[in-house]
């Protein structure tokens, strides 16, 4: 019964529809908050921010493909893009469980153990990369970032890096698999490759951070010297929001951190509007990529079917 339900197309169409409703409601609620704000947008920087958000998503997707391949989870890039961005929509559902279930469904032809490990490494390397970016922001903040943010990033960075150390990770994971009655996982990337994953995550964070900085610059004059400060603060807010399992994508939590730090060198209205708009931009660009990969993937299947039929 459960297997039939899991494989039902209508169930996953209903899940996707529910997720899109949640995304739409979240973005609509965010945009309604801007009605009381008086602001102007500089078009060039706004467009550049939008492009950087797209590039940031694509960088993270490319890194996911390499992480998944290191555990034997390989798919053509169009199929993988469709699976990745489709499952990423699950982040908008409170509790973070939907993302995991949707990723398993998208990669249902692969080992759940391998997909689980790839997701775990992707998550931990994301956290490690974000912590490193936060530390870079703290260095450039000159006392603007609260001390607890600095100490938290300093403590979590070595923790996440050690978690990725294969002599620690492999025995721990295989112990859990054995306890669950599952065969051990033999394929593990080396530690230098793990560090490459973290470096790629840092790159994705810096690109998304540039999107946030450009959006703020579209709202108010700000010197490029504040790029690392705004980026570090943005990802510090994101890490705290990730810990808030009750909030879809940390809505309401991440904004609080931004309101705490950024008004020290930006007008408060620009911070309020920027905090709302960056969430909308990140969500819209993710939806665009999900739709694009879904359309391209479907078209590729049609073309492949036409070629096969013509050969017959």
- Reading the chain (312 residues) residue by residue, the pLDDT tens digits are 545 544 556 565 666 666 667 666 666 666 666 666 667 888 999 999 999 999 999 999 999 999 999 988 988 888 899 889 888 877 777 666 777 888 888 888 888 888 888 988 998 899 889 888 888 887 666 666 667 666 777 787 888 888 888 888 888 888 877 777 777 777 788 889 999 999 999 999 999 999 999 999 999 988 888 898 899 888 888 777 665 544 445 455 677 778 877 888 888 888 888 988 888 899 889 989 988 998 887 776 655 454 445 555
Look at residue 144 and give its three-state secondary structure: coil
> CA 6, CA 225: separation in Å to the nearest integer?
51
Task: Decide if 276 contacts 30 (C-beta within 8 A).
Answer: yes
| 146 CB burial (10 A radius; 0-12, 13-18, 19+) | middle
Task: Decide if 208 contacts 232 (C-beta within 8 A).
Answer: no
Q: Which residue has the tokens 């010297």?
A: 225
Task: Decide if 205 contacts 130 (C-beta within 8 A).
Answer: yes
Query: What is the token pair recorded at 133?
Result: 């970016």
Angle, CA of 274, 85 and 308, to the nearest 5°: 145
- For residue 45, give Cα distances in angstroms to 42, 94, 296: 6, 32, 29
> CA 86, CA 13: separation in Å to the nearest integer?
11
Query: What is the token pair recorded at 200?
Result: 């790629």
Write b or e for each residue in 227-250: b if 16 or more Cβ atoms lie within 10 A of its Cβ, otherwise e: bbbbbbbbbbbbbbbbeeeeebbb
- From the CA atom positions of the chain, what is the Rg in Å? 21
Interaxial angle between packed helices 254-261 and 227-243, expressed in degrees from 0 to 180 and rounded to the nearest 10: 150
Look at residue 209 and give its three-state secondary structure: helix
pTM value is: 0.81
Q: How many CB atoms lie within 10 A of CB 286?
A: 20
- The DSSP symbol for 283 reads H
């Amino acid at each position: 019964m459960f297997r039939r339900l899991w494989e039902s197309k209508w169930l996953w169409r209903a899940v996707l529809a529910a997720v899109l409703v949640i995304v739409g409601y979240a973005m609509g609620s965010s945009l309604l908050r801007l009605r009381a704000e008086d602001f102007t947008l500089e078009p060039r920087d706004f467009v550049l921010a939008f492009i950087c958000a797209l590039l940031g998503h694509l960088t993270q997707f490319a890194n996911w493909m390499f992480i998944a391949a290191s555990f034997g989870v390989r798919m053509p890039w169009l199929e993988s893009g469709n699976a990745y961005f489709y499952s990423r929509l699950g982040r908008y559902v409170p509790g973070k469980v939907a993302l995991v279930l949707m990723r398993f469904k998208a990669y249902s032809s692969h080992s759940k153990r391998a997909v689980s490990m790839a997701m775990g490494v992707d998550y931990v390397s994301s956290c490690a990369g974000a912590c490193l970016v936060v530390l870079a922001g703290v260095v450039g903040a000159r006392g603007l970032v609260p001390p607890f943010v600095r100490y938290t990033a300093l403590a979590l960075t070595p923790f996440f890096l050690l978690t990725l150390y294969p002599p620690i990770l492999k025995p721990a994971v295989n112990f859990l698999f054995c306890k669950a009655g599952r065969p051990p996982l033999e394929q593990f990337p080396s530690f230098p490759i793990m560090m490459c994953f973290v470096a790629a995550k840092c790159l994705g964070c810096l690109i998304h951070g540039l999107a946030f900085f450009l959006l703020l610059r579209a709202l108010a004059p700000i010197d490029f010297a504040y790029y690392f400060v705004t980026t570090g603060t943005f990802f510090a807010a994101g890490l705290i929001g990730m810990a808030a399992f009750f909030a879809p994508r940390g809505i309401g939590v991440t904004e609080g951190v931004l309101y705490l730090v950024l008004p020290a060198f930006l007008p408060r209205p620009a911070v309020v509007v920027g905090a709302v708009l960056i969430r909308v931009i990140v969500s819209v660009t993710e939806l665009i990529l999900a739709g694009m990969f879904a359309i391209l993937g479907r078209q590729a299947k049609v073309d492949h079917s036409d070629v096969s039929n013509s050969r017959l």
